[in-house]
Structure 1
Amino acid sequence: MERRAFLNIGGLALGGLLLPPFGRAIAAEELLKPADVKFKKLLADTALGAATQAGASYADVRIGRYLNQFIVTRDLNVENVTNTESAGVGVRVIANGAYGFAATNDMSPDGVAGAARQAVAIAKANAKLQPEPVRLAPTPGVGEVAWATPHTKDWRAVPIKDKAEMLIAANKAGMESGASFMQSLLFQVNQQKYFASTDGSYIDQDLHRLWCPFAATAVDKASGKFRTRNGLSTPVGMGYEYFDARKEDKVQAAGGVTTLYRKSYDLIEDARAAGKQAKAKLTAKSVEPGKYDLVLSPEHMWLTIHESVGHPTELDRVLGYEANYAGTSFVTLDKWESKKFKYGSDLVNIVADKTEPGSLGAVGYDDEGVKCKRWDIIKNGVLVNYQATRDQAHIIGEKESHGCSYADSWSSVQFQRMPNVSLQAGKKKLTPDELVKDVKKGIYIVGDGSFSIDQQRYNFQFGGQLFYEIKDGKITRQLEDVAYQANTQEFWNACTATCDERDWRMGGSFFDGKGQPSQVSIVSHGSSTTRFNGINVINTARKIG
């Protein structure tokens, strides 16, 4: 009944998308039925008691109810509407110095007690092979507390008809402005997560998330050539009010090439621009390879931050614990211990933050019951910290966890996952247009595209959605077939300017993969428009050799 991942969109390959089941299909009205908190506490106490009696020195229990609604449209038709529910209990323990984990969808006292005893048995078996005992950083119990994603409009209460009509209206706008085909989706998530531990915490959280991706495809019927421009929306941790676009949230891209948004989103306006821009791609000039100064929008920067800073500063990757899924990290402990490793220029200040309002990673407490916070990873260009959970904190001399433990389901064990990792805005007043003024030969990139990065998170290549030539301080014509190449350290040390907080906004991912068995997590990354000098650009359409 449980699927460990929604789906792998793979660069938003919307054509041919089939939504797999995630839990059991349910009627839409079931989404609004609340789960009883007293019953969850009863189950939690039963699991904790059974684990302790079986020999656990520590235990935590996560009771989860995961509700999802997916709506898929193509052109002027609704292709699919799916409502799903997945519910169950996961129990993690430490016994004889080792972890054990077991899960069940039998949400009865006997069912959870059985899972707890099974987790202890697994821990005792693991202890025979474990050279050192697990060391958990202390975390005070918080008693009974509740936290919910701030929102004013619950997506579950919005009629499906209204949502489908919004998507179809966006498709129509894109087709009227130049797209031959349009596909749009709406992902809606509600996670009801109850955490309890032998530390004395009973934490009830109600989490809401949205994402509305689309693809506008323009076709030249004479040649068969086609080009696509994907949507520039941000996946968010908020309610359906995200689609109530506000004038104060509008941000004009450099050179006025398109309208962007901070904390709300006009789907119709973006779709209309996408249709026009997808058509323009058909006749855009193919880029000449060479060295360019790059001006990167936040809608593009989030992915570069994610791959070249977020993943390599995950402590389990650094230590080699995470290796098979997308590799380890070049940011080894000796670089941190030196206190002088220049990850980037002095302008590069990157923080981890699980409290940023509206972000995907914002929660009150992580999946170990640790209160979430903000901390520095790179300060004035120097590596100063990593991302660590309770059992990793002592390795880097931390007295407490960073609060970045996460499991994608009640049936998955929690482990270190990326918090929101963001580039801080520049301290000097600077707009995107002012940033462009002294660029002699450059390229302005908006939106994320395909990418590739090596197993150490060091050598990489990134594309995008929209590319514009910058010549003598002005944004001129649209370009195509652009990708830039660099290694992580040289790229971030080439950072020469970043716009101020007026331009700062987030992008993010609904499907950040890690672990074996694989899990997906959600994460946001913020930045302002940022400049990088002398970066190698290749033409992706030209044959090599």
Structure 2
Amino acid sequence: MSISRRKFLQSLAAGLLGGGAPLAAATSEGRSSRREEAARLAEAALDAARTAGAGYADVRVLFSESEVLSAREERIENVEVSASSGLGVRVLVNGVWGFSSASVLDPAHASACSRSAVEMAKSNRALATQRVELERVEARIDRWRVPIEQDPFSIPLDQKAEELLGINAAARAAGAPFCRSFFLFVRQEKFFASSGGSFLEQLFFRTYPRLTVTATDPGTGRFANRSSFLPPRAAGYEYIRLHDWKQEARQAAEDASRKLKAKPVAAGKKDLVLHPTNLWLTLHETIGHSTELDRAFGYEAGFAGTTFVKPADRGHLRFASEIVTVMADRDQPGGLATAAYDDDGMPARYARFPIISRGRFENFQMAIGQSRWIGLPHSNACSFAEGHAYFPIQRMPNISLQPSQQDVSLEELIAGVEDGVYIVGDGSWSIDQQRKNFQFGGQLFYEIRKGKLGEMLRDVAYQSTTVPFWNACDGLGGVKEYWLGGTLSCGKGQPVQSAPVSHGAVPARFRGIQILNTGRGI
């Protein structure tokens, strides 16, 4: 333990008065009192950890709020408003981790958490196969927040409900008999303190709007769905306010109706053009998860699986064609994993690195203590815990496919296809435990003939293996085609944790990919 409690509080006060990015809401009495409360809890927990014998300790204090409103046709189905708070203490004792948490925020419980975490670490020594070796993390006192224009929690619930019902009404007026819509909002204040002297305050906002329309054919009993393409974002209510939802609803209703009349796809090997609304999910599952270092060492084998990528592949594996570069980051505007620091207290600048550079696999994602497994000096800010009661584990930062350096349009990619399929929107998917063999669907499918978009198709899925698939990529859209997708609920770990992550992508063309007709099971 490298800093005294008196020095910790003195440096904390100086830093919060004079340093860090200002929080718009931090000047309020409520924000200040939470910061002071977190500082008292951190002091108690770190003192107790040091006294109990920990060589390192960190504390996370979280205040979380969420709202979910959902509507179906002409009625509001559900309104949920919730809030939670708590703290988690992680300690390292003789190279072994221990962890404990509490939902009661007072110094006595914080101290008890530290003592419990130390006891857990000591009990775990008999099971530990190797000691955890931490790299040095620079001490920082800082504040940061997701930049937003309008706090979604300041908008009255009845106004949000009216917006949802208006979306449904627009879809039904356009001919869709069924429409579901929802808004999800999350606000989370996260305080991090470590025995190394860091005290970090971060404020996150996440907003997720969605609609799904359903068209039916009473004669055949068939139905077709089309959901909105707007992904969750690190944003405020302006993300909803600035989108033309009525137009989205009308278009979704039209698309769903057309899907009922679409012709079945002919199975076989074809060229494939994927819109980024579809490709972000393929990127997530095949590249994002396969390049997690804990998977490569078998730490996720019991739940989320392992990976075909081996430590020896770093710098050698030809993962994709030469035009493919995939970057990690924590600074992309609107990114769900964007932050100033990860949950190990590592600065975001460490999270900007190439995973794949010009087709070659370069870097794994790592949490603190994992870099030594492959002989590297430090991790790369890839740690996250879902809440105060969860141990931080390796999780994805934002991971994005980089655009072409040329100004290539979607139309140009399609023009280079004689016989193929164009897919928009994400759908059902399946991938094996090593992130190798996969099958992905979508929402909208179109035939490509002689460089032109043709009729709408149905019952389409594409099937491949990760490395051959990415090596079959021979065309990427330019920067004007870039689009940021993502998910709030990437699952991993035992007990399972959900993590928010964004993935940027551009339209991409792949040659000779197996297309399945899911309606006939071929």
In the superposition, the TM-score normalised over structure 2's length comes to 0.92
| Residues 1:506 and 2:484 are matched in the alignment | yes
Note the alpha carbon deviations across 1:351-392, whole angstroms, 9 max, x for none: 111111101000111111111131000000000111011110
> Contact 1:387–1:404 (CA<8 Å) still a contact in 2?
yes
Q: Does 1:429 align with 2:407?
A: yes
Question: Is this contact kept in 1: 2:423–2:444, CA < 8 A?
Answer: yes
RMSD: 1.2
Number of the residue aligned with 1:383: 361
Confirm or deny that 1:77 pairs with 2:53: no
Residue type of the alignment partner of 2:319: Y
Q: 5 Å matches for 1:144-159?
A: 144-159=141-156
In the alignment, structure 1 residue 162 sits paired with structure 2 residue 154: no
Change (3 A) 1:543 1:152: closer
Shift of 1:403: 0.6
Question: What is the deviation of 1:163?
Answer: 1.3
Query: What is the identity, as a one-letter code, of the residue corresponding to 2:176?
Result: A
Q: Deviations over 1:484-517 (max 9, x none)?
A: 0000011000001101111101111111000111
* Cα contact 1:234–1:508 (8 A) shared by 2: yes
Quick check: 2:319–2:471 contact (8 Å CA) kept in 1? yes
CA distance in 2, matches of 1:411, 1:80: 27
Q: Aligned letter for 1:72?
A: S
> Residue in 1 aligned with 2:174?
177
Query: Which of 250, 255, 266 is matched with 1:288 structurally?
Result: 266
Q: Report what 1:307 is aligned to.
A: 285
2:343 alignment partner in structure 1 = 367
State the Cα distance separating 1:395 from its structure 2 match: 1.9
Match in the other structure for 2:118: 120
Match status 1:62 vs 2:60: yes
| Alpha-carbon distance, 1:33 to partner | 5.6
Q: 1 CA distance for matches of 2:416 and 2:455? A: 17
1:487 to 465, 483, 490: 465
Matches of 1:130 and 1:295 in 2, distance apart?
A: 48
CA–CA distance in structure 1, aligned partners of residues 337 and 162 of structure 2: 29
**What secondary structure sits across from 1:282 in the alignment?**
helix
Aligned-partner Cα distance in 2 for 1:105–1:191: 15
1 CA distance for matches of 2:244 and 2:368? 41
Deviations 1:507-544 (Å, cap 9, x if unpaired)? 11111000111110011101111111111101000045
Residue 419 of structure 1 aligns with which residue? 397
Alpha-carbon deviation of 1:150? 0.8
5+ residue gaps, structure 1: 1-31, 246-264
- Equivalent residues of 1:178, 1:278 under 8 A apart: no
1:141 is matched with 139
**Quick one: distance in 1 between partners of 2:85 and 2:241?**
31
Aligned residue number for residue 41 of structure 1: 39
SS in 2 for 1:167: helix
For residues 266 and 382 of structure 2, the distance between their equivalents in structure 1, rounded to whole angstroms, comes to 43
Q: Are residues 158 and 33 of structure 1, via their aligned partners in 2, closer, same or farther at CA, if it must alter by over 3 Å?
A: farther
Structural mapping, 1:101-250, within 5 Å = 101-142=99-140, 144-245=141-242
Aligned pair count reads 491
3-state SS of 1:68 partner: strand
Structure 1: which amino acid aligns with 2:208? W
Tell me the amino acid that sits aligned with residue 105 of structure 1. S
In 2, are the aligned partners of 1:281 and 1:479 still within 8 Å (CA)?
yes
CA distance in 2, matches of 1:68, 1:80: 13
Q: CA deviation at 1:141?
A: 0.5
Cα distance in 2 for partners of 1:484, 1:385 equals 28
Identify the range of structure 1 (474-483 vs 170-179) with the bigger mean alpha-carbon deviation.
170-179
Question: Which residue of 1 is the match for residue 14 of structure 2?
Answer: none
CA shift for structure 1 position 76:
1.6
Contact 1:422 1:527 in 2 (8 A): yes
> 2:348 is paired with a residue of what secondary structure?
coil
Identity of aligned residues (%): 42
Where 1:212 maps in the other structure, the secondary structure is: strand
What is the CA-CA distance between 1:214 and the residue it aligns to?
1.8
Q: Which of residues 301, 306, 325 is equivalent to 1:328? A: 306
Distance 2:129 2:177 in 1: 61
Quote the residue 2:321 is aligned against.
345
What secondary structure sits across from 2:119 in the alignment?
helix
Q: Secondary structure at the match of 2:110?
A: helix
State the AA in 1 paired with 2:163.
Answer: M
**Cα displacement (A) at 1:170:** 1.2
Deviation by residue 1:396-450 (Cα, 9 ceiling, x = unmatched): 3322221111000101110101111110001111111122112111111100000
Mapped contact 2:398–2:502 kept (Cα < 8 A): yes
Work out which of the residue numbers 370, 377, 383 in structure 2 matches 1:399: 377
Give the Cα–Cα distance (whole angstroms) in 2 for the partners of residues 313 and 97 of structure 1. Answer: 25
Q: Does the CA-based 8 Å contact 2:275-2:425 persist in structure 1?
A: yes
Structure 1 CA distance for aligned equivalents of residues 400 and 298 of structure 2: 24
Q: Name 2:92's counterpart in structure 1.
A: 94
Deviation at 1:213, TM superposition (A): 1.9
**Deviation digits for residues 284-317 of structure 1 (CA, Å, limit 9, x no counterpart):** 0010001111111111011000000000000000
In 2, the alpha carbon distance for the partners of 1:517 and 1:244 equals: 37
Instruction: Indicate conservation of the 8 Å contact 2:152/2:185, yes or no.
Output: yes
Contact 2:366 2:382 in 1 (8 A): yes
SS in structure 2 at match of 1:400: coil
| TM-fit CA distance, 1:98 | 0.7
Q: What CA deviation, in whole Å up to 9, does each residue of 1:327-359 have, x standing for no partner?
A: 1000111222xx221100001100111111101
> Does the 8 Å CA contact 2:209/2:240 hold for their aligned counterparts?
no
Any conservation in 1 of the 2:65–2:83 contact (CA below 8 Å)? yes
Is 1:444–1:467's contact at 8 Å kept on the other side of the alignment? Answer: yes
CA distance 1:225–1:483, shift in 2 (3 Å): same
Counterpart in 1 of 2:18? none
Corresponding residue number in structure 1 for 2:423 = 445
Q: Is the 8 A contact 2:304 2:493 kept in 1?
A: no
Q: Distance in 2 between matches of 1:471 and 1:543?
A: 24
Deviation at 1:131? 3.3
Change in 2 beyond 3 A, CA 1:394/1:266: farther
Unpaired segments ≥5 residues, structure 2: 1-28
The 1-side partners of 2:298 and 2:182 are apart by: 37
Separation of aligned partners in 1, 2:89 and 2:430? 37
In structure 2, the residue matched to 1:53 is: 51
Question: In structure 2, the residue corresponding to 1:151 is in which secondary structure?
Answer: coil
**SS class of match (2:98):** strand
Kindly provide the amino acid, as one letter, of the partner of residue 465 in structure 1.
Q
